A and B are shown apart, each in its own frame.
Chain A
Amino acid sequence: ETGVTQTPRHLVMGMTNKKSLKCEQHLGHNAMYWYKQSAKKPLELMFVYSLEERVENNSVPSRFSPECPNSSHLFLHLHTLQPEDSALYLCASSQDVGFKQYFGPGTRLTVT
């Protein structure tokens, strides 16, 4: 499926770096999501955007900064991350909040 794309697929960054993850959806959806998937933990919702406005922020540290410039694009800006932030970051979109979510392939992030 190519409805939701994420770049890069893999990212290795140092603790002092600044990088951004990008998500793009080609489905005409109004809602977009960032999830974190760590080893042996359930999928954790980080941010929800509906019509480019943030509607949920689940107590995510400020070193993660989302940006939604339009309903098709979602970014996750990263700075001064910790090794425990290493995980698979998944983007998803849905027609609206509460509807079936379609996931991107994820970005595997390693913080050294």
Chain B
Amino acid sequence: SQELEQSPQSLIVQEGKNLTINCTSSKTLYGLYWYKQKYGEGLIFLMMLQKGGEEKSHEKITAKLDEKKQQSSLHITASQPSHAGIYLCGADIQGAQKLVFGQGTRLTINP
């Protein structure tokens, strides 16, 4: 099993709808990063969360860190075609010497 699990693996939503992507760790989280990737391109940094209960927003994207659940959620409000892409979570987790990544969530926005 992976150290960092993302769900769902793929998501198709109608433009204008809200959506949530989850990232769950099997171990204690010390810091969590959300990145967005357009297919075949590099990763664009979205947000970093370091404290339990922390919540950050950037435009219509909000991310929260639930330390007790060892989980982070990424919420997009009123989705737009520009939100389409692959969302990856990366985390500093207990016992790992490096940043580990989830497998990604592919988001498609239908007009």
A and B together in one complex: yes
Choice from A42, A58, A88 contacting B4 with Cβ under 8 Å: A42
CB contacts between A and B, total, < 8 Å: 46
Contact with A along B89-111 (1 / 0, CB 8 A): 01010000111111110000000
Does B78 interact with chain A (Cβ within 8 Å)?
no
B97–A56 CB distance below 8 A: yes
Does A21 interact with chain B (Cβ within 8 Å)?
no
Q: How far is the CA of A41 from the CA of B4 in the complex (A)?
A: 12
Among A11-19, A65-73, A77-85, A96-104, the stretch that binds chain B is: A96-104
Choice from A42, A58, A103 contacting B43 with Cβ under 8 Å: A103
Which of chain A's residues has its CB closest to B30's CB?
A98
Q: Which residues of B contact A88 (CB under 8 A)?
A: 40
Interface band, chain B: 20 to 34
Q: Which residues of B contact A105 (CB under 8 A)?
A: 41-42
A42–B42 CB distance below 8 A: no
Where chain B touches its partner, the secondary structure class is strand
Which of chain B's residues has its CB closest to A5's CB?
B42
Q: Which residues of B contact A56 (CB under 8 A)?
A: 97-98
Q: How far is the CA of A46 from the CA of B33 in the complex (A)?
A: 19
Which of chain A's residues has its CB closest to B98's CB?
A45
Given contacts A42-B4, A42-B104, A45-B99, contact A98 B41 (CB under 8 A): no
Most buried by A among B44, B90, B97: B97
A-B contact pairs, 27 of them (CB 8 A): A1-B44, A4-B42, A42-B2, A42-B100, A42-B101, A42-B103, A43-B90, A43-B101, A56-B97, A56-B98, A88-B40, A90-B43, A98-B92, A100-B45, A101-B45, A101-B90, A102-B45, A103-B35, A103-B42, A103-B43, A103-B44, A103-B45, A105-B41, A106-B40, A106-B41, A106-B42, A108-B40
Interface residues of A (CB under 8 A from B): 1, 4, 6, 40-43, 45, 48, 56, 58, 88, 90, 92, 98, 100-106, 108
